[in-house]
Structure 1
Amino acid sequence: MVLGGGAAPPRGSAAATASMRRRKTTSGGASGGAAGTMLQFYTDDAPGLKISPNVVLIMSIGFIAFVAVLHVMGKLYFVRREA
């Protein structure tokens, strides 16, 4: 049996075992796995502020509304200056 360019080695063979060893990622350290990094955001031990998603949503909507109000005030101020 001839393996193609991208075909995986047969299951249970020494080549498959070596391939799996190479693919394993280390968790921790500077490189750290993506899953380990994401899980740190949801633990009680994570450093930083503890803000619920609802608070973030309300703050972002408030910021958008504040910018919209500033745009409207700027337009009104500009119209009054020209008259």
Structure 2
Amino acid sequence: MATGTAPPRGSAAAAASMRRRRTASSGASAGAAGTMLQFYTDDSPGLKISPNVVLVMSIGFIAFVAVLHVMGKLYFVRREA
């Protein structure tokens, strides 16, 4: 076996290298996860809005813009006549 190749799939060496790779990568992503979690803690500054409220507000905004478009089309048609 050459030094640059991976061990055969399903072998004990492949499983060991996969375990090493997972633990090494999870340590690097723990820092990013720690910074993301600070947005959801009680210590973070700003408004505390649940995801459901954000979803309802965004759908309401989209509906409001759609109604404005329809009203604008109807108003424009009536002014032409």
Normalising by structure 1, we get a TM-score of: 0.63
RMSD: 2.7
Residues paired across the two proteins, number: 67
Work out the CA distance in 1 between the residues paired with 2:61 and 2:76: 22
**Quick one: percent identity of the two aligned structures?**
81
Work out the CA distance in 2 between the residues paired with 1:61 and 1:42: 22
What corresponds to 1:81 in structure 2? 79
Q: Which runs of 5+ in 2 are unaligned?
A: 7-12
Cα shift at 1:2: 3.0
Work out the CA distance in 1 between the residues paired with 2:33 and 2:51: 20
What corresponds to 2:58 in structure 1? 60
State yes or no: 1:3 paired with 2:3.
yes
Cα shift at 1:48: 1.3
Q: Which of the pair is proportionally richer in helix? A: 2
